[in-house]
Amino acid sequence: MNGNAETARSAGEAEAVAEAMAAAGVAFADECRACARRIRLAHTIFAAREEWTDERPGPAWSHVDAWDRARADLAEALVINVGRAQSFLTFSLDLVRRLPAVLEAMEAGRMDERIARDFHRRLATVDSDRIAAVQARAVAEYLGRLDRGERPGRAAVDALIDEVIEQLDAEALARRRKAAVRDRFVSFREAPDGMCTLYASLTAAEGAVLAARLEHDAADALDREPDAGTSRGERLVDALVHLAVNTAAPACSTPGSDEGPGRAPIIRPQVTVIAGRGPAAGRVVFARSGAASVDALLQLLGACTGATLESVDPTPGAADHGNRAERRARTRTYRIAEDLKRRIRLRDGTCRHPGCSVRAEFCDVDHVRPFDHTDPSRGGPTAEHNLMCLCRRHHRFKTHGSWRYHLERDGTLTVVTDTGRRLRTRPFGPLARWRELEAHGRVAPDVVWPPNRGGYRLAC
Ligand SMILES: [Zn+2]
């Protein structure tokens, strides 16, 4: 290729890239503006709900507040779950009412949602008298850096905002740090493939201590068993579990047990087994000893001391069976028996309000069709096909709101909102999942028992 051809090729390449970059820039700006528009509309929805909630007749306790209504509206409109809707609503109201300079930067197509959320988070504790000056200077500083050709990362943006806060409202930083300590948490979330994800928010000092201890114990394990073939990640998890079970609360011990110094602590499990009957019976797999039938597991656990065993018949309505008189008495009594409540929680897994993920164990069990206290024979029976889990907030929402609910025998719930939209939610607890697997001709999934390197043993 001669020099002219090479120059023409480079110019063509640069032109094509420049064109795509310009289009990408326009798309970015459109995205910023679209998000700003969603924020303004979220505020409009909230304001409308607030106005109508205030004018509603009846005592204050029977009002579903504007927050709950607007949150449900947003989950429906933006096709997101209730948790995200809550977060977006809080963000939207704060931007419209408290952080207009941030919202204007979005409307100018210069700031995306992620950066705007950083501003929102970091400016949360700034005094209301100073917030206008702090945000104006922080936003101007951020946009100025972009104009100078800088592309600051998240940490740099955070530092920039904090610098401005320090200059104009230093106490806000101290307040924010105090709030962060109060907001520390540890949470466990079910994950695919028989796993669980652990999240924690710790102070930097706590994190450093914990990290040092786990690193130390994992290194020790490697020294003791250099040929174990475990990864660093596995050794860290083993160290964490070992740390937890070997400093377990004294309630784990019983007088006269064989626990004591130098012995592994005993963990007494509560085991729930969902088991089909006859040929549909599931199976359990122990990673070290292979597959076992559910019957064998039941026999083993039945001979244990300390373990609590519960076997659940997965047949829909199994808990409502019995002779006619028993059935009648049960379905026409308002109070829900504990075993029936437990069954509904096992079926539903979470609150059944569309998009809500509050775990069933923290939910109320509610009659879908209300129980008729004056004449129980007229409907609203206390039976599996008329009960569902609702968190306290959505229980109130259903009782005092104007949405309509219909539960099918398989636990599918149809909801018609006050704006006429029809939504469906399916139960997602272990019982519902077992039924789904069975319906597709598969037996219950294998339960894998992990190799026990934590130094504990089960009481069976
Ligand atoms: Zn809920």
**Distance from residue 395's CA to the centre of ligand 1 (Å):** 7
Do residues 28 and 114 share a domain?
A: yes
CA of 427 from ligand 1 middle (Å) equals 13
| One domain, residues 147 and 239 | no
Q: Are residues 419 and 331 in the same domain?
A: yes
Q: Domain total for the chain?
A: 3
**Residues 30, 195: Cα–Cα separation, whole Å:** 40
Do 239 and 225 form a contact (C-beta atoms < 8 A)?
Answer: no
DSSP SS3 for 208: helix
Query: Which pLDDT belongs to residue 59?
Result: 61
Whether 427 and 282 map to the same domain: the answer is yes
What distances in angstroms separate CA 231 from CA 110, 209, 228, one per listed residue?
44, 22, 9
Residue 262 lies in a domain: no
Question: Both 194 and 141 in a single domain?
Answer: no
Whole-model pTM: value is 0.71
- Report the pLDDT value the prediction gives residue 9, as an integer from 0 to 100: 81
Q: How far is the CA of 202 from the centre of ligand 1 (A)?
A: 28
3-state secondary structure 219-251: HHHHHHCCCCCCCHHHHHHHHHHHHHHCCCCHH
Task: Please indicate, yes or no, whether residues 327 and 397 belong to a single structural domain of this protein.
Answer: yes
pLDDT in tens, 304-342: 556 666 667 778 887 777 677 777 778 888 899 888 998
What's the Rg (C-alpha) of the chain? 29
DSSP per-residue codes, 133-176? HHHHHHHHHHHHHHHTT----HHHHHHHHHHHHHHH-HHHHHHH
93's tokens? 């109201």
What is the Å distance from ligand 1's center to 400 Cα?
14
Based on DSSP, count helices (H) and strands (E) in the chain, helices before strands: 15, 14
Shared domain for 131 and 197, answered yes or no, is no
Is residue 256 in some structural domain?
no
What is the domain range of residue 205? Answer: 186-245
pLDDT score, position 372 = 85
Distance (Å, whole) CA 172 – CA 414: 46
Question: From ligand 1's centre to the CA of 299, what distance in Å?
Answer: 38
**Sign of the CA dihedral 241, 247, 249, 251?**
positive
Whether 80 contacts 355, CB under 8 Å? yes
Q: Under 8 Å CB-to-CB from 300, ≥6 apart: which residues?
A: 292, 460
CA of 352 to the centre of ligand 1 (A): 7
Give the pLDDT confidence score for residue 332 in this predicted structure. Answer: 85
- Pair (172, 192) in one structural domain: no
Classify residue 299: in a domain, yes or no. Answer: yes
Residues 6 or more apart whose Cβ sits within 8 Å of residue 152 = 142, 145, 160
Q: Provide the pLDDT for residue 63.
A: 66
Spans of the chain, pLDDT less than 50: 248-262, 264, 285-290, 444-460
Q: Tell me which DSSP letter residue 325 carries.
A: H
Q: 35: which residues sit within 8 A by CB, 6+ positions away? A: 106, 112, 113, 116
CA of 405 to the centre of ligand 1 (A): 14
Same domain, 114 and 237: no
Q: Measure 459 CA to ligand 1 centroid, in angstroms.
A: 36
Distance 365 CA to ligand 1 centre (A): 12
Distance 424 CA to ligand 1 centre (A): 14
C-alpha 196 – ligand 1 centre gap (Å): 22
Q: Is residue 304 part of a domain?
A: yes
In a domain, 123, yes or no: yes
Quote the pLDDT of residue 80: 94
Strand partners, 274: 312
First-to-final CA distance of the chain: 79
Residue range 10-67, pLDDT digits in tens: 888 889 999 999 999 999 999 999 999 999 999 999 999 988 776 666 666 666 788 9
**Two tokens at 204?**
């930097």
How many angstroms does the Cα of residue 131 sit away from the middle of ligand 1? 34
Rounded to whole angstroms, the Cα distance separating 317 from 330 reads 12
Instruction: State both tokens at 48.
Output: 């409308």
Amino acid at 223: D
Q: Which two structure tokens, joined as six digits, stand for 142?
A: 């951020």
Residue 418 Cα to ligand 1 midpoint, Å, equals 17
> How many Å lie between the centroid of ligand 1 and the Cα of residue 350?
8
| Same structural domain, 236 and 323 | no
pLDDT at 317: 80
Instruction: Quote the CA–CA distance of 342 and 361 in Å, as a whole number.
Output: 8
151 domain residue, yes or no = yes
32 shares a domain with 115: yes
φ, ψ for residue 151 (rounded to 5)? -130, 75
Which residues, at least 6 apart from 187, have a Cβ–Cβ distance to it below 8 Å? 198, 199, 200
Q: Is 257 part of a structural domain of the chain?
A: no
**E strands within 129-280?**
185-191, 195-201, 266-267, 270-274
- Tell whether 18 and 136 lie within a shared domain: yes
